[in-house]
Amino acid sequence: MSLNTDFMVKVAQTAIQGVPVTLQIVLVALLISLPIGVLFALIRIYRVKGLQRLVQFYVSLVRGTPIIAQILIVYSAFPSLLNMIIGKAAFSINPIYYAYIVFTFNSIATLTEVFRSALQTVDKGQMEAGLMVGMQPRQTFWRIILPQALISALPNIANATLYLIKNSSLAFIMSVKDITAIAKTEAAFNYNFLEAYLVVWVYYLIICYGAEIIFYLFERYFSKYRRPIKNRTGFNWFPFSIKQPKLEQK
Amino acid sequence: MDNIKLIINFLGQLLPAINITLIVSLSSIVLGSLLGLLLAATRLSESIVLRLLAGVYVSVIRATPAIIMIFVVYYGMPMVFNGWFHTNIDGWNRMYFVIIALTVLFSAPVSEIMRSAYESIAKGQMEAGLMVGMTPFQTFYRIILPQAFVVALPNFANSVVNLLKEGALTFTIGVVDMVAKAQMIVANNSGGFAWQTYCALALIYWVISLAIDKGLSLVEKSYQAKRKTIAV
Amino acid sequence: MLTIEGLKKSYAGNDILKGISINVNKGDVISIIGPSGSGKTTLLRTITTLEEANGGRITFAGVDNDFQKLNGKEINTIRRNVGFVFQNYNLFNNKTALQNITEGLIVARRVKKNEAENIALKALERVGLTDRKDHYPSQLSGGQQQRVGIARAIALNPEVIFFDEPTSALDPELVGEVLKVMKDLANSGTTMVVVTHQMSFARDVSNRVIFMADGYIVEQGEPRKIFENPSEERTKKFLTDILANV
């Protein structure tokens, strides 16, 4: 068995053009879904009438169906929908917008659950203390509760981001020219599929580890208040999604 | 109304292909759990080298997209078998490749779930068990395992749902599962009724996921019921 | 200054408070003692509007109304004129010791930032923690956290400070430092209502002791009378039990 290394170098050079596309999809989806996720989590926690059921339904639906099904639905339904609304021919739309839509919808569901559990980890004593120094509930929420919840959500936001990066590898189905799509096209010429996918794999590993390091630095920077002065935790090289953010023991 | 009728009609056409999904998922769950158990044991072992290797494995899998894993297994394994064992496995049922890929993907989170469940229970309970004169194995089997099971269950169910969803990529290597079937239906209708077809597809997966969640909460409830008689 | 009449509270059909009336005068240091489950903590939490009462009347800081009829403005008035020291400290985890104190001053009282910091530093000095001003709660011991909690309450200069079992979450060796701060406060004329299990504090520092059981005030009076010559059988039994364990 031998791999065609020349070809691998060539794929590596071409597929790198797909990296910005992948990152773009991930960033757009993340930036839109973060605030909406917080909003939806609040709707769930405060049981906003009517809306809370809707959010619950939405989260369950997205969480319970494969991303591929979501891609196929959006990709087949949106063109005609757009046609109806703006009368613009669907062909003229850059397929990356479909990717934005699918992955944003998907991330909103994940992040809603992330923020819901993060907000619930904040002790209710924090709100009471805020009220007892004369602050309004809303002020206490913005200044005390939300900052703590966001920081305790960081590990799970990192997980959601990794999940998003990995899922974005399916954007090629919507003919978005991302890493996977480029490698696939290259490989098709000579049937060097294994080589192409090994290169793609390495790219995803690099992107995922990069994201993990960024989140680790965020966490370090923002959670200074959670660290006892001496005990610093090192970078967790083998983190996993099932770990709940550690709470302070009081 | 017409749309609902269409979706119901498509449901009927898709459902026969569900057995592929079920076979792939169930085999991967069983094999992946076994591999995960092995990995968890490795990560709890004394040997630093073994621990490190298992750790790297889990960490790499965590950063690997399912579709890449499936492709690498599908295109890579025949090459490996051909080159190293001089065996031709091109004739294998393509489902096997998916099962292998999903087993590898599933084993990583499962090993972490098992490990952290074990660690959350083991320390104090093991000492207590030994102090009342049980052997380590007895303590593990009678005291730690049942408790760790309860701790691990929700996360395990969550991973099963993820596996089910990743299994929907089976079609990418040409196995005719529900997704492939749906695409065929759309093709047969010359691209018509596409979103209704895919909604039917999503609906089937959703029901399975809901069933898994429901099963989980039933099991959890029965455990809580047992507990209530003692506590409170 | 603060008058509570016929305060009632029930949870899920269980009556926790069955008609409590209390009168707090300026400069009072009142200790509330009693077995656990007698409703002491609930009493503080209902008076300070952390929990809704099911009946009773409050006269305090210009508010004179039934608990159930309090409007938002009146609730704000009550909250602005009380201080509260929590059993679990409840310091804002994302704020330093100093910021914990300035937060209420700046956000709720609209005091200017440097003025608030001056007030906060003075409060920290009173509890002896000036050198810990930039520490986060997780970097402080339980005793230090509770002292910051007390500083946070006094900085707002409230009419009365409520202490909800301020030392019961502390390791025994840390209880002393908190009690000392509370004693200094009492001596400086701060009005305090303290739910406590520290009988020494109740006996030596307070000027009135209230004994509660089963949602009622069983007996109240000067500490000497309650401790040396209680008139109720329940009080006697409680004190014998608790003092036997010391």
Mean pLDDT across A145-158: 92
Q: Residue A206 above 80 pLDDT? A: yes
CB nearest to A133's CB, from C50, C139, C152: C152
Look at residue A250 in the predicted model and tell me its pLDDT.
33
pLDDT band at A76 (very low <50, low <70, confident <90, very high): confident
Alpha carbons B27 and B25: distance in angstroms, whole number: 6
CB nearest to C86's CB, from A125, A224, A226: A125
Q: Which residues of A touch B209 (CB under 8 A)?
A: 63-65
CB nearest to A250's CB, from C88, C135, C153: C88
A148 touches chain C (CB under 8 A): yes
For residues C148 and C36, which has the higher predicted lDDT (pLDDT)?
C148
Tell me the shortest Cα–Cα distance from B134 to chain A, in angstroms: 31
Q: Where are the domains of chain B?
A: 2-231
- Categorise residue B135: left if φ over 0, alpha if ψ from -120 to 50, beta otherwise: beta
Alpha carbons A153 and A122: distance in angstroms, whole number: 11
Look at residue B228 in the predicted model and tell me its pLDDT.
58
Say whether C107 and A129 touch across the interface (CB within 8 A): no
What does the mean pLDDT of chain B come to?
87
Mean pLDDT across A51-70: 94
H or E stretch at C21: strand C14-24
Tell me the shortest Cα–Cα distance from A235 to chain C, in angstroms: 20
Q: Residue A167 above 60 pLDDT? A: yes
Say whether B65 and A167 touch across the interface (CB within 8 A): yes
CATH assignment of B2-231, given 3.40.50.300, 3.40.640.10, 1.10.3720.10, 3.30.565.10? 1.10.3720.10
Tell me the shortest Cα–Cα distance from C171 to chain A, in angstroms: 12
Look at residue B227 in the predicted model and tell me its pLDDT.
63
Q: Where are the domains of chain A?
A: 5-242
Say whether B63 and A200 touch across the interface (CB within 8 A): no
DSSP letter, residue C95 = S
Look at residue B1 in the predicted model and tell me its pLDDT.
66
Q: Residue A71 above 60 pLDDT? A: yes
Chains C and A touch (3+ CB pairs under 8 A): yes
CB nearest to C90's CB, from A129, A134, A224: A129
Structure tokens at B114: 């098992």
CA B140 to mean position of chain CA atoms: 25
Q: Which residues of A touch C52 (CB under 8 A)?
A: none
3-state secondary structure chain B: CHHHHHHHHHHHHHHHHHHHHHHHHHHHHHHHHHHHHHHHHHHCCCCHHHHHHHHHHHHHHHCCCHHHHHHHHHHHHHHHHHHHHCCCCCCCCHHHHHHHHHHHHHHHHHHHHHHHHHHHHHHHHHHHHHHCCCCHHHHHHHHHHHHHHHHHHHHHHHHHHHHHHHHHHHHHHCCCCHHHHHHHHHHHCCCCCHHHHHHHHHHHHHHHHHHHHHHHHHHHHHHHHHHHCCCC
pLDDT tens track for A85-130? 766 555 567 889 999 999 999 999 999 999 999 999 899 999 999 9
Interface residue of C111, C138, C156, C161 to substitute, partner A, most A CBs within 10 Å = C138
pLDDT tens track for C128-175? 999 999 999 999 999 999 999 999 999 999 999 999 999 999 998 999
Subunits with at least 3 CB pairs below 8 A relative to chain A? B, C
Q: Which residues of C touch A123 (CB under 8 A)?
A: 88, 90
A109-145: string of b/e by CB count within 10 Å (b at 16+)? bbbbbbbbbbbeebbebbbbbbbbbbbeeebbbebbb
Mean pLDDT across A204-209: 95
Say whether A129 and C137 touch across the interface (CB within 8 A): no
Q: Which residues of C touch A126 (CB under 8 A)?
A: 90, 92-93
Look at residue A91 in the predicted model and tell me its pLDDT.
59
Mean pLDDT across C38-44: 92
What does the mean pLDDT of chain C come to?
92
pLDDT band at A81 (very low <50, low <70, confident <90, very high): confident
Say whether A197 and B68 touch across the interface (CB within 8 A): yes
Q: Residue A80 above 90 pLDDT? A: no
Chains A and B touch (3+ CB pairs under 8 A): yes
Chain B residue with CA closest to A1: the answer is: B83
Q: Which residues of A touch C96 (CB under 8 A)?
A: 225
Neighbouring C-beta atoms of residue B48, cutoff 10 Å: 8
Structure tokens at A80: 């005609």
Burial of B112 (0-12, 13-18, 19+ CB in 10 A): buried
Q: Residue C204 above 60 pLDDT? A: yes
pLDDT tens track for B190-222? 777 888 889 999 999 999 999 999 999 898 888
Say whether B198 and A238 touch across the interface (CB within 8 A): no
Q: Residue A1 above 60 pLDDT? A: no
Could you give the ipTM of this predicted complex? 0.90
For residues A169 and B230, which has the higher predicted lDDT (pLDDT)?
A169
Nearest to A25 by CA among A181, A150, A153, A216: A181
CB nearest to C94's CB, from A135, A136, A225: A225
Q: Which residues of B touch A197 (CB under 8 A)?
A: 68, 71-72, 75
pLDDT band at A11 (very low <50, low <70, confident <90, very high): confident
Mean pLDDT across C170-181: 92
- Categorise residue C153: left if φ over 0, alpha if ψ from -120 to 50, beta otherwise: alpha
Subunits with at least 3 CB pairs below 8 A relative to chain C? A
CB nearest to C94's CB, from A133, A148, A229: A148
Tell me the shortest Cα–Cα distance from C95 to chain A, in angstroms: 7
pLDDT tens track for A127-141? 999 999 999 999 999
Mean pLDDT across A65-84: 84
pLDDT tens track for C65-111? 999 999 999 999 999 999 999 999 999 999 999 999 999 999 999 99
CB nearest to B75's CB, from A162, A180, A193: A193
Residue range A5-242, CATH number: 1.10.3720.10
Which residues sit opposite C7 in a β-bridge? Answer: C20
What does the mean pLDDT of chain A come to?
85
Say whether B65 and A193 touch across the interface (CB within 8 A): no
The answer to which of A163-172, B141-150, B202-211 has the lowest mean pLDDT is B141-150
Burial of A59 (0-12, 13-18, 19+ CB in 10 A): buried
CB nearest to A237's CB, from B59, B108, B195: B59
CB pairs A-B closer than 8 Å: 127
